A and B are shown apart, each in its own frame.
Chain A
């Protein structure tokens, strides 16, 4: 029989060695915390997760106290409340209280707990501690004055990010959290520092001052950056994506996401994306309308057709393409493309020891499952039909193998679409729902987060209009 402990009058089972906070988290008992993070080592520094354990004279920290059989724990006793309010007071005496201009405001642990556990006024009359900030590279902006020294960022770099590049300098009240020698962060996972920071001390340069967080609408989805398929949350307002956050999935990405995946969404609302049907006249693509562009595409796809499907498309889209190729095209070769050098799923490897995979498209393994093979960059064709979801690398040298027209369906940047004779704008991964298969063979759902940008249409719609 597994041991049991009592938290606030209710009995819970636990595995030996579990900390009180883990039991509380699993059972929905709220214990405030700053330094504790399930993915990082336990340091018990912030002292916020205080609980009272019967038969123990001192207040204990829930994060570092292993539960014992028969232990009786109180999370809301007077002793606990006074300990927590004193920690809040200590944390706030040197905090600038600049919530109105802070990007973390609205999703800040310090702010939230200060409402729940703090006092409305301050007894502090001395001078507040201030710091000078050094640049931390392109991803993260540091504001040390807001820091509460929880050291989550230091531990993240040591234990997850792969580089021991953040440190605590000096000691006592003057402790400064910084990068080694004030250098820029090198890790590919720096964005996570902003997620785990419980205050506005580390924020994303990419997101800073762009949107108040309470306006953002959130959709659970999956990253399309590589074949890992990290779980994400898309934050958007009025059809504009502002940021992506990682979503916990212990089997795939735990709590993290790489910077490449995090900032990948920018092409969605970028002006460089082709969002209107376009037809090439003379030397360049000109904006057209759907009926003209479709008619042009239909007319010019003929003879031996090379159909290239991006391995960034969903299973549903790939199946539709397969059906289209079988039903409508007399003579065609249907192949996938995506990452240079990735002709089959066997070419997909770990890029680092953390999350990143070498296949930079999300559904390579799904495309293989449907029986598609990679285009080796050979053959000669009369015309080509290219389907792309927004992430696959454009097939270079396509023009050399195609005598006639090249028609693109999907997300294309204006630059790099020079070879195309017709472009029918399609949907990116935040504008559509569908299924993708990651490298482990797990099927995951993309969720539509925003309305199609411009005149973009899904592949199924294009096929419906094609006839």
Chain B
């Protein structure tokens, strides 16, 4: 029986209310945490080898440890529920079915870092989820879990839900903090990092929903237990894989970190490719992860193996593309997303993303030139690693990988001047 932590109550329509959560072992972690010292909680988190589930994979315990013990400014705990990476839908399920698991995790985190105010920054499109969270917070206040005396202790915590206005860049932690403060959603210059100077100038921790939802289990069962679940060193616990695209059984899958490979996930757990088609490509970590071809499937789904393979696990949004879909069309759509979502602050991302999109659009329209491919690689290279935040890398990485790995498709499209109106290949090209 594989270990299941955050998806324990998934698809159970009765699981959201406090009564159900409490009846099934809820808030035991918080109760235990309130009896510990903040230092002990952070030590437990460090032991757990929990790495942030939002995409960057930064060790959570280490992040919490960056918060200065003495601070003149109030400290804040912020939950990043702006889940906006294309192909990612795990946080939504957690908030729908286990809102109290998130609240409990946030309460433990707030206690550990000494925050008295916590925010859940939820993306604007998650209207229903925001409502569920509001309701759960109200329940928690009534039950004395939040407010002046958290579960009867001297610890005071206020928790607010803040809805975003629908911008990918507000999932970047400093962009999120700007938006939370009512400013334009633009990333800030780092350093200073949020742990030193974050929301409203105070030390702030920004954690992903899934990260925080796993905290109660870590506290309850111990960091060593959690670390032991991971199959690779320095990466503990389980994580949710969001599989979408051309597989027979898309959806959310929870496995221990690194326990399954990409091939096992697609063929054993997701029932293989639809209609018995051949696999063309997999984007393993949300649309900003460089693409993998059908020959690169025997990679364990964890942060380090993915990095070794030249891509990233990111938010574990696995997007599966089969042979019927044009790679050019796919990367055009991805690049359009990044050009649209670029905040426009720094030069390479603002100008470069749109340039790449225009060139890809031209190729799709049948006006491409062979030199465009090197141009694309060069422009993407000029964006990669040279921007203010990670959005530039997120936009450039996929373009580089798509052009490199599917160059033949681009060339074919340019040679045939295919007006690929809907992106599908002709019968000969795709053998549909």
Contact = CB atoms under 8 A, between A and B. Distances in A.
Given A64-B189, A90-B382, A172 B346 contact: no
Given A43-B189, A66-B191, A126-B359, A173 B347 contact: no
A149 B344 CA distance: 8
A172 B348 contact: no
A134 interface: no
A86 B344 contact: no
B347 A91 contact: yes
A174 interface: yes
A172 B355 contact: no
A89 B353 CA distance: 13
A42 B184 CA distance: 16
B395 to A, nearest CB: 10
Nearest to B367: A125
B46 interface: no
A149 B347 CA distance: 8
B386 A86 contact: yes
A interface residue count range (under 10 / 10 to 19 / 20 to 34 / 35 or more): 35 or more
A24 B87 CA distance: 45
B272 to A, nearest CB: 38
Main secondary structure of the interface of A (DSSP, over half): loop
A124 B355 contact: yes
Contacts of A168: 184, 344
A82 B383 CA distance: 11
A174 B354 CA distance: 10
Contacts, number: 93
A326 B14 CA distance: 102
Residue with the highest number of chain A CB atoms closer than 10 Å, among B167, B344, B346, B362: B344
Interface string A2-19: 000000000000000000
Residue with the highest number of chain B CB atoms closer than 10 Å, among A44, A45, A123, A174: A45
A123 B355 CA distance: 11
A52 to B, nearest CB: 12
A93 B388 CA distance: 20
A173 B359 contact: no
A152 to B, nearest CB: 13
Contacts of A172: 339-344, 350, 353-354
Contacts of B354: 129, 172-173
B355 to A, nearest CB: 6
Interface in A161-202: 167-168, 170-175
Nearest to B342: A172
B375 interface: yes
Interface in A184-233: none
Interface in B323-371: 339-348, 350-355, 358-359, 362
Interface string B173-212: 0000000000010000101000000000000000000000
A403 interface: no
B385 A90 contact: no
Contact of A175 (B189, B350, B352, B386): B350
A389 B132 CA distance: 74
A269 interface: no
A59 interface: yes
Nearest to A171: B344
A148 interface: yes
A174 B385 contact: no
A418 B101 CA distance: 86
B382 A89 contact: yes
Contacts of B344: 149, 168, 170-175
B387 interface: yes
B339 A47 contact: no
A129 B346 CA distance: 16
Nearest to A148: B347
A46 B347 contact: yes
Interface in A94-145: 94, 123-127, 129
A171 B170 CA distance: 12
A149 B350 CA distance: 10
Contacts of B346: 44-47
A363 B351 CA distance: 51
A58 interface: yes
Interface string A42-70: 11111110100000001100001010000
A126 B368 CA distance: 12
B169 to A, nearest CB: 8
Contacts of B341: 171-172
A83 B385 CA distance: 10
A329 interface: no
Contacts of B382: 82-83, 86, 89-90
A173 B388 contact: no
Given A90-B352, A174-B344, A58 B189 contact: no
A47 B189 contact: no
Contact of A58 (B340, B348, B385): B385
Nearest to A83: B386
A44 B388 contact: yes
A354 interface: no
A87 interface: yes
A151 B343 CA distance: 13
Given A83-B386, A90-B352, 11 more contacts: A45-B345, A47-B346, A47-B388, A48-B347, A82-B382, A125-B362, A126-B358, A148-B347, A171-B169, A174-B344, A175-B344
Interface of B: 167, 169, 184, 189, 191, 339-348, 350-355, 358-359, 362, 375, 382, 385-388
Nearest 4 interchain pairs by C-beta: A175-B344, A86-B382, A173-B354, A90-B351
Interface of A: 42-48, 50, 58-59, 64, 66, 82-83, 86-87, 89-91, 93-94, 123-127, 129, 148-149, 151, 167-168, 170-175
